[in-house]
Structures are given as structure tokens and as C-alpha cells.
Amino acid sequence: MEIIKCPICREEVSERLSFHVRAIHGEDALKSLLLKAKAEGMPDPEIGAYFGVSFNYLEKVITEAYGANITVLKRPKKVKRWEPPNFREETTTVWSFKQRGDWATGSHSFRYG
């Protein structure tokens, strides 16, 4: 395992960073570091690898702090298009079915109602 410096005391740590932070600085300090890394935009897998915590633990910390897992909330999806290709907005209040083809005409031999 590579040597990492503790972000709090700057001591070199050769074990999981989470073990050191819990033992020396306490559980709240670890949670604070995780939330800070998340707020700075570090992806969850990198947070887990850097601090040596599981995704379940990270998710628990985030949920306790924000009431929801902000992983989903922080990254809005990009809209590729706002409407289907070849879309034309209706310009009248009358429906026109000229383009529907023969497949939608139905049969008059069926008795309705």
C-alpha cells in the first residue's frame, strides 16, 4: 500500500487512511473528510480507494449528512435533445391525420356501441 499523508495532521500513513483518522482524530473527523472530498467533486470510487472505506459506508455517511444520497443529485444528466427528430409543433387546433397512412383507418364492418 502506498504512503499517504493524513489531511489533518500531515503524518505519513502506510495503512488505510480511515484506520488512522478514526484512531487519532475520531469518527467525526473521518466523516467530515469524506463529505469534504465529496463536496469537492471527487468520485465515489476514488473516495473509497483513497480513504479505504466501502461504498456502503460512504453512502451511509452521505445519507446521514444530507438526508439523501447526493451522488445522484450532484450530477445532472445532459439532455441530448429536447424533442424527437423531425418534430413539428402543431400549428392549429384541428387534428389532421393525413400522414397516418392506411394502417390507422380501421374497418367499417365492425359495429360500434
The reply to whether 97 falls in a domain is no
Amino acid found at 105 = T
The reply to whether 41 falls in a domain is yes
The residue segments making up the domain with residue 55 are 4-74
**How much is the pTM?**
0.59
Per-residue pLDDT of the chain (113 residues; tens, 9 = 90+): 578 899 999 999 888 899 999 999 999 999 999 999 998 989 989 999 999 999 999 989 988 888 876 655 555 667 788 888 888 887 777 766 666 555 555 555 656 55
The reply to whether 13 falls in a domain is yes
Q: How far apart are the first and last CA of the chain?
A: 78
How many domains would you assign to the chain?
1
The reply to whether 43 falls in a domain is yes
Sign of CA dihedral 43, 49, 53, 57: positive
Closest CA to 35 of 79, 72, 69: 69
Burial (CB count within 10 angstroms: exposed 0-12, middle 13-18, buried 19+), residue 89 = exposed
The reply to whether 103 falls in a domain is no
